[in-house]
Every structure is written in C-alpha cells, then in structure tokens.
Amino acid sequence: VSTQNRPLVFMPLDGGVTLSCDGGDATLAPFEAAVVPAAANRCTVAAASGERAAFTLVTPVDGQESFAGQLLAAGLEQHRIDEFLRQF
C-alpha cells in the first residue's frame, strides 16, 4: 500500500496482521492499531496466520479519485471500490 505522502492507520478486525515498511515490522492483534508515517512511502499488510484477515485502513485523501486509485493499487476490485464510494 502506498502512503502517497499521507499517514496510514491500520486496525485488524477479525485476525492478526503483520505490517512491514521501511521502518520495520509490526504484528497487530484484532482491534490494535498502528500508524504508518507518510515517510515510509509503502507498506505491506499480510494476515499473521497466513489466512485472510479483514482490516480497516484510514488515511487523509485528496479527493475521491485519488482515494479510488489508492484502493485499486492496493488490490481491491473496482466494483467494490465503486460500491464503497457511492455512499459519499
């Protein structure tokens, strides 16, 4: 996930995740949170158990188009992005 020069806040929901970025790695249990600084440029997120794990990602955005591009680059399917953004 690219930071796009903005901080990222991650919180796993139903399983642990491991965040990896230039500054190191962190493993989070469900409902723990971590901030990835904008200076990290990129980070990867992986389920700690090797399975899939849902998580929340919060970041300041520069409009919906840029946010949609960030979600697409992170691997979300276009129809899910469209469905999510329709609520705003």
Percent of the chain with pLDDT strictly greater than 90: 48
Each residue's pLDDT tens digit, 54-78: 899 998 877 788 888 888 988 889 9
pLDDT for residue 83 is more than 90: yes
pLDDT for residue 51 is more than 80: no
Q: What is the pLDDT of residue 27?
A: 94
With left for phi above 0 and alpha for psi between -120 and 50, is residue 24 left, alpha or beta?
A: left
Strand pairing class (43-47; 55-58): unpaired
Provide the mean pLDDT of the chain. Answer: 89
Decide if 9 contacts 45 (C-beta within 8 A): no
